[in-house]
Copies of this chain bind each other. A is one copy, B any other.
Amino acid sequence: MKIKTGLEQAVYALLLLNRLPKHAMLSGESLSEKLHVSSTYLQKLMRKLVQAGLVSSVPGVKGGFRLLATPEDIQIYDVYVAVEGVESLYHSNGVFHAMFQLAENKTCLLSDVMEEAEHAWQSVLKRTTLASLHQALNNTSTNDCLTKIDSWLKERVVL
């Protein structure tokens, strides 16, 4: 059981977009190049982020992706849901009900526990926003790294 790497790609893509000046955009091609991930697959992910309302996209030449919401409002959990869907980590397979020949409507024992655990998990992902990640990045990175990124962005930025 593993969490998809798609989440990682999406989060860091958003983190890059967050460094752009207001209303500026970056093409999917540029994003994938900087993240060193598959271009076509990243585009698939970006579409999911668009559908989730986290970023907006502009077609045509001089098009690209741009952060739609403010970074303070983008929870990591939102990104997770956008990429992986709302399905919970655990889903009962009815062993409990089969065991006791119960109706399907009652929740099973394990589900309750797993649901509680997942809630605890989600709460961490909900209180962590893109803004806090951005902050952490600025605090922990050397100026050299950041300026290198920002100058690269400047070359590739659209509009």
B contact residues around A123 at 8 Å (CB): 120
Whether A110 and B1, one on each chain, are in contact in the complex, defined by CB atoms closer than 8 angstroms, is no
Chain B min CB distance to A63 (Å): 23
Q: A113-145 interface mask toward B, CB cutoff 8 Å, 1 = contact, 0 = none?
A: 110111011111100100001001100110001
Q: Does A4 contact B (CB under 8 A)?
A: yes
Tell me what chain A mostly uses at the interface: helix, strand, loop, or mixed. Answer: helix
Whether A137 and B109, one on each chain, are in contact in the complex, defined by CB atoms closer than 8 angstroms, is yes
Total interface residues in chain A, CB < 8 Å: 54
> Whose C-beta in chain B lies nearest to the C-beta of A134?
B109
The residue that A12 contacts in the complex, of B36, B91, B99, with Cβ under 8 A, is B99
Q: A3-B1, A95-B9, A95-B35 are in contact. Are A133 and B113 (CB under 8 A)?
A: yes
Chain B min CB distance to A87 (Å): 7
> Whose C-beta in chain B lies nearest to the C-beta of A124?
B117
Q: Does A8 contact B (CB under 8 A)?
A: yes
* Residues in chain A within 8 A of chain B (CB atoms): 1-5, 7-9, 11-12, 15-16, 34-37, 76, 84, 87, 89-93, 95-96, 98-102, 109-110, 112-114, 116-118, 120-125, 128, 133, 136-137, 140-141, 145, 148-149
User: Which 6 pairs, one residue from A and one from B, show the smallest C-beta to C-beta distance?
Assistant: A117-B124, A121-B121, A120-B120, A36-B98, A5-B93, A3-B90
